[in-house]
Amino acid sequence: MSVNLLGLGRPELTSYCAELGEKPFRAKQLLHWIHQSGATDFGVMTDISKTLRERLALEAAISGPTVVRDTVAGDGTRKWLLDVGTGNAVETVFIPETSRGTLCISSQAGCALECSFCATGRQGFNRNLTVAEIIGQLWWANKCLGAYASINQGDARIISNVVMMGMGEPLANFDNVVAAMRLMLDDDAYGLSRRRVTLSTSGLVPAMDRLRDACPVALAVSLHAPNDALRNELVPINKKYPIRELLAACVRYIEKAPRDFVTFEYVLLDGVNDSVAQARELVETVKSVPCKINLIPFNPFPDSGYARSKSEAMARFRDVLLRADLVATTRKTRGDDIAAACGQLAGQVADKTQRAARRDARAAAATTVNPTPESVL
């Protein structure tokens, strides 16, 4: 079985080259060819000896994801559905802007955390993605967008920022996500700065502490509620790691972070978490943490049970935060016409949790207990 070099970082590539009797500099050459040129054919690697190229062709491969669907929104946002095998496919989104291009990467096929307002959580969970499947999303997007030339020539990058905000909870796939991010940061691979790689978490506190020590990148935390009672409903992992513990972990993280603040993400849900009183409570909740608050309009998906907050309510909520001298912005919704906006990524998940089946069974039971007038007739 051939080794997929796409998923090997510098240490692993160095060890692999040593097994072949090659010097460590060969790993650097391979990193350049794979991640800065997007090569898949060992034959084009002209600074590597012919003998090694022939051996690599027999024993190794550079295998990226298979694209199932490529969709472009009216605003230029682009979404790829990528086959990761065993009946699963994940989604990756590129968001072009005037001053930057951001790639949103998935870390799992589905998600086990089941946040109530998230389409990914509704799909259930199958497995963690491998390093090759995670970094392969960036590798593929650069290839598809013609970005490798800009990397090599030092021009403005087409993909300047990466956010681990796609399908899945990144910190629940800690080792593979960290290995992939190290490739993103490696100057011989993608050479992104830690400030331009952001990981978003629902709040796995022990893993946040591990990330601080292993690979501190910019951090975003999915908060979505000003108190434990409401967050328990919206983000169930809060029952294990309540807000007080989460905020303490944020303060610890900042000690080694590339930014002197964390970003709190807050999806605004009509009549659920968007009142002025809740905005004031949020001010008190986060006052001990250097932070920026990113308010996110809810992006609907079928049978979500939630609605987007009205624009007036969102403005009132933001104004309370601004008057308290917090940095607060409202995220512009991008790609919602192709279900590529925040919270809409669903992909295709062979659900091991049987979440959809359990949900349907509960709904059927509720209908039986409380029949509608039509069912009575």
Residues assigned a catalytic role: 91, 342
Contact 5, 62 (CB under 8 A): yes
β-pair partners for 94: 78, 103
Is-contact 46 52, C-beta < 8 A? no
Taking Cα atoms as reference points, which of 35, 63, 32 lies closest to residue 47? 32
CA angle 120, 124, 129 (to 5 degrees): 75
Q: Distance between CA 362 and CA 377 in Å, rounded?
A: 22
Residue 266's closest CA among 164, 334, 205, 342? 342
SS3 content of the chain, % helix, strand, coil (to 5): 40, 20, 40
Q: Tokens at residue 294, please?
A: 């990113």
* Helix, coil or strand: residue 160: coil
User: How many other CB atoms are found less than 10 A from the CB of residue 274?
Assistant: 21
